[in-house]
Amino acid sequence: MPWLSSITLDGMSAAVAGPGLSFGVVPWWAVALALLFSGRVGIVFGAMPARQAARLDPIGALRYD
């Protein structure tokens, strides 16, 4: 149902900026690349602090909290 979002976005853009504006098409590989990149960043910057926290002594970590 990608056509439904296209119709909706085209209708909203025409209402805001006039009938000449339309949104471009994003290739599927660009969407896949963006999802892979953001997933990798999330894993790296989520796993590094989690790994460091797992190595801490629980009593010592709570002492300074």
Domain boundaries, the chain: 2-63
How many angstroms from the chain centroid is the CA of residue 45?
14
Closest alpha carbon to 11 in 27, 3, 22: 22
For 28-63, what is each residue's pLDDT tens digit?
Answer: 999 999 999 999 999 999 988 899 889 988 888 788
Would you report the helix, strand and coil content of the chain in percent, each value rounded to 5?
A: 75, 0, 25
Residue 19 predicted with pLDDT over 80 = no
